[in-house]
Structure 1
């Protein structure tokens, strides 16, 4: 398989939150790079999603806990033969620096966004279908018509408090993803099941399919085992059905 699609399934709530935030950061950067009013509007809405999600979870505490947990596990590898000590030291230094930056950041992440009346008005109207029309929020459309660089400067300033969160999540996810290489597996009749060793800190299941695959995986996981059903989508009625074919795929159970 050369061109590949990777589907990821988190195995705990912390990893679930990190993956959601990672997706929002990627979306924010995509729209921030755009030049249109619609790009700026989507960047604002993504920023508000980031603010809401980080408000539900003490993301600073969760990040520090995970960085400290991973650091402790990686430190134990220092005496393992064939370990690249230079690379290991570099990663440990990165983790330490991120923990220090998180400690130094006072108050909740992005707290200023929640008290900004301009953003609060947008968030309130965004919950209403079609609620961001010009006659509903003239001040928003006035801002959207400002010069591109002015809009980008404001968006960068609002996103800046999340920078350390983004860096921490990217490092954590990168290490987790690299903790296991994919191995070949086959789902007979579109179904696959495997046991998990409860003594290992599994974080993530990664399923790899060729980009021309006609099915997609639906993962259901518990503490001791997980199952994967490969489903086919009928776009005419929007319904899915389990594939009856034997599906070859790549599987990585990531534990760090």
Structure 2
């Protein structure tokens, strides 16, 4: 007998996700090939499609961890197909984060999939479900920066190098922001099972506004400086320079013209 959790249609990868992955691959090839007339546009599509792919993987990680924890409803909801259109908050999960990438070059956390927490027993399982999403962003950042920290960038075209750096930086910012212990974000979700019932009830009304609070705090110069310093230190640890990220962002914003590479990036 096939249950909702094991039905093959509920696990089949969505054509929408496959199209996103194909777009990422094709635009990445165009960047690597160095087609000067389309390099900026190709970087834009590579980063945007790669960013949406990472958002899908983030939400999938939440869902598959919840499935293993006991919530079989995530399968019937389509969360395991990697289809961004199946998420309960498509605007928060996909559209708004992409808009913020375009406007500000920051990896804004998306809205989480809907988990039926009552089906899951054990505080560790609840914490792991919340941690799975940011962990996916961190893993993706590690994969993207592997050529940097493995010193394997010697034959990589500069434009592709910069695109990787910028996309990796978005993953780092998303992981940092998501791990903040603010109601509504994954960091709070990791801690919530360990709080008292009274504390959880007091924090619950603030959950819908947590992301707005974080975004508002980033407008405070001191907070913004601390945040970007932390991101920069981690990128440097991964052997990615500020120039790599800056040039990647400049290429990404192709409508402003391609950057003048007056400084040779460090190898």
* Same fold per superposition (TM over 0.5): no
Q: TM-score range by the shorter chain?
A: under 0.3
Q: Which has the higher helix share?
A: 2
> Rg bigger for which structure?
1
Q: Which has the higher strand share?
A: 1
Q: Normalising by the residue count of structure 1, what TM-score does the alignment of the two structures yield?
A: 0.28
